Amino acid sequence: MDPATLIRRLTDRVAAEKDQPVAHVVVEEVWTAVVEGDLATGERLPTVRKLAIELGVSPRTVKRAYEELGRLGVAATRRGEGTFVSLDPPPEEERRRRHAFQTFCTAVVARAREQGFTLDELLDAIAEFRTAEREDGPA
């Protein structure tokens, strides 16, 4: 997929999902493009700066997304060269697992909002839970 097409897909998805963090949308869209075979291993992703300008966000937001893609094994950044897709499409089982997790997360966010909590409050609560679990061990 050419960079302009990816940028257009990302721009459309960010606009459609205004309630979602942009970094999350970038991660999910790139992941989906790889899984569906629209982005092949070795393809170069838009630069952090270019994508940030196109999406109207801070370069730190795009950098965070690319770092998460790196942690997921979907992309790799080579200093001075750029960020490239580094993952072959995952097996069907992993795609189903990832889709189920995304559905779960969407439901949790919707439920939190129904209860009057913001996404930031939900993330803060999860961070507190994570810290407590690390200190005390799993509940």
pLDDT in tens, 36-90: 888 888 999 999 999 999 999 999 999 999 999 988 888 998 888 999 998 755 6
Contacts of 66 (CB under 8 A, 6+ apart): 26, 45, 48, 75, 77, 83
DSSP character for 51?
H
CATH class as words, domain 3-85: mainly alpha
The pLDDT value given to residue 135: 78
Greater confidence (94 vs 57) lies with: 57
